Amino acid sequence: MATKCEHVKQANPNVAPSGEGCKECLETGQRWVQLRKCLSCGHVGCCDSSPGQHANKHFKETGHPVMQAFKSGDWKWCYVDEAYV
């Protein structure tokens, strides 16, 4: 269920992705379950169900709050509000 989130107003769903897969997993040879795209800078990282959890790590390192399901783009998640938006 969606929640009120002010961060989503600053999100750019049209930001270009950093690549076709999780940048860190591709560099280290890890596998991912699903991918997320940062709606601030386009960084593509793996989801929390993946061993590397690189999308979450990207948020913690940068503070970029909103991620979107990569490829399908059918939902967005705000790490700050811990909610779908």
Q: 2 in a domain, yes or no?
A: no
Count how many domains the chain has.
Answer: 1
Domain that holds residue 15: 7-84
43 vs 22: CA distance, rounded Å: 8
Residue 63 sits in a domain whose CATH number is: 3.30.40.10
Q: 1 in a domain, yes or no?
A: no
Task: Tell me what the mean pLDDT of segment 33-39 comes to.
Answer: 97
Q: 45 in a domain, yes or no?
A: yes
Q: 11 in a domain, yes or no?
A: yes
pTM: 0.92
Angle at alpha carbon of residue 71, lines to 65 and 25, rounded to 5°: 70
Using pLDDT thresholds of 50, 70 and 90, give the confidence band for residue 3.
low
Determine contact, residues 52/30, Cβ cutoff 8 Å: yes
Q: 79 in a domain, yes or no?
A: yes
Using pLDDT thresholds of 50, 70 and 90, give the confidence band for residue 1.
very low
32 vs 25: CA distance, rounded Å: 7
85 vs 74: CA distance, rounded Å: 11
Using pLDDT thresholds of 50, 70 and 90, give the confidence band for residue 84.
very high
Higher pLDDT, 1 or 22: 22
